[in-house]
Amino acid sequence: MPPATEPDSLSALEALRREVEACTLCDLHKTRTRAVFGEGDPRARLMFVGEAPGYHEDQQGRPFVGAAGKLLEELLGAIGLTREQVFIANVLKSRPPNNRDPQPGEIEACQPYLWRQIALIEPRVICTLGNFATKLLSGDPITGITKVHGKPQRRELGGHAVTLYPIFHPAAALYTPAMLTTLREDFARLPALLADESVAEPPVPPSAAEPVVSPSAAEPPSAAEPVVPPSAAEPAVSSSVAEQLGLF
């Protein structure tokens, strides 16, 4: 089958948006104010995927519009990009009550929407923000973001090869300002990744069904990862804040 033309892709993406906005596949539709499909350049080479909408996103129906969104825009500006030149989405399209962790059934309901977004947008680089998005898209439910951030990986998602690039969630810098150094260093490598995919590892194909794995379920407390000692590039974050942000 020949690839879809750009008008076809744009039309399909808009149809997918309407489908997401009307979705009732999980109970989150009962408590959300607005579904958050995502926004940006529908042909973006760089796509960001976070965990789920927060309060402000739920109110406005747009991703990353709070303080973390402002920081994301600042980080993009430092590498010569604007949010209009990238595409920003989340694993979940509806806000979990009280910003709790996504549940397995919610991830299962929303995951196909994300795969279809990736297939239609065809980004060259997908930058995962935080633990949940990284574990889902990498297919590794065990390794935490503290070990893989800033390390590009080759993956096959949405039917084509992409460079997966995990980084900490921008909200981490809001709680721990020194973390901004780490974010800036990780962001600084994005232009090279966009220009040359060969810097990443060879592609790793998805499993037959791209199974849904709950990151929290895959990491029982007894098998939790050790806390990484602080350094100049990776400052310490309190355990309560780290848990809230999904950093480990």
Closest residue by Cα to residue 193 from 115, 126, 146: 126
Closest residue by Cα to residue 29 from 19, 38, 39, 16: 19
pLDDT per residue rounded down to tens, the chain (248 residues)? 445 567 788 999 999 999 999 999 999 999 999 999 999 999 999 999 999 999 999 999 999 999 999 999 999 999 999 999 999 999 999 999 999 999 999 999 999 999 999 999 999 999 999 999 999 999 999 999 989 999 999 999 999 899 999 999 998 878 887 778 999 999 999 999 999 745 555 555 544 334 444 444 333 333 333 333 333 333 444 444 344 344 44
pTM to 2 decimal places: 0.80
Please tell me the predicted confidence (pLDDT) of residue 207. 43
Please tell me the predicted confidence (pLDDT) of residue 8. 84
Please tell me the predicted confidence (pLDDT) of residue 9. 85
- Which residues lie below 8 Å from residue 55, measured CB to CB, with a gap of 6+? 66, 95, 99
Residue 191 parent element (H or E): helix 190-195
Pick the CATH number of 6-205 from 3.20.20.70, 3.40.470.10, 1.10.1060.10, 2.30.130.10: 3.40.470.10
- Please check whether residue 134 is in contact with residue 246, taking contact to mean a CB–CB distance below 8 angstroms: no
Give the start-to-end residue ranges of the domains of the chain.
6-205
Tokens of 75: 């980080």
Tokens of 170: 């921008």
Please list the residues that pair with 155 across neighbouring strands.
162, 204
Angle at 111 between CA 30 and CA 146, to 5 degrees: 105
Please tell me the predicted confidence (pLDDT) of residue 231. 37
Please tell me the predicted confidence (pLDDT) of residue 172. 81
